Amino acid sequence: MEQVRTKPLSDSGIFFRAIAGFAIAALVMLGVGGTVYRLVAPDGWLAPIFGRSLAGGMAAVLALLIIALCAWLTRGWVSIGARNRHSELFVYGFAATGALYAVQYLMKGGF
């Protein structure tokens, strides 16, 4: 077995990696929070469903929960490597969504 020798990071390299990690974490939190807000806001994505009737809205929410439960139950069929790739996709997807929400907020004159 061949060992791979890597050059140790300098202090500035460690600092910039920490800053990048913090920025990704902040963008992911902003993306998840913004998506949840857009989902449940009074004029959000679920409002038209519940606007027609309570039963129709509850049926739609129940259908989404059943889909999520099926996805959770099938996680044993997917290899660990594939799961790691999919989790990275979700992280960077929510980070991109967070960046989009941040740009929209700044364009409206936030801060």
- Asked whether residue 44 is assigned to any structural domain, the reply reads yes
For 104, counting Cβ atoms within 10 Å of its Cβ (0-12 exposed, 13-18 middle, 19+ buried), the class is exposed
- Asked whether residue 60 is assigned to any structural domain, the reply reads yes
pLDDT given at position 87: 80
The sign of the torsion formed by the CA atoms of 59, 63, 64, 65 equals positive
- Asked whether residue 83 is assigned to any structural domain, the reply reads yes
- Structure token digits, residue 3: 């060992």
Give the count of domains, the chain. Answer: 1
Name the range with the highest mean pLDDT among 36-50, 67-81, 90-104: 90-104
Whether residue 27 contacts residue 91, with contact meaning beta carbons closer than 8 Å, is answered with no
- pTM value? 0.68
- Asked whether residue 30 is assigned to any structural domain, the reply reads yes
Average confidence score pLDDT of the chain: 84
pLDDT tens digits along 2-39: 676 677 778 888 899 999 999 999 999 999 999 988 88
- Asked whether residue 33 is assigned to any structural domain, the reply reads yes
- Asked whether residue 2 is assigned to any structural domain, the reply reads no
- Asked whether residue 84 is assigned to any structural domain, the reply reads yes
Per the structure, the complete domain to which residue 22 belongs is given by 12-107
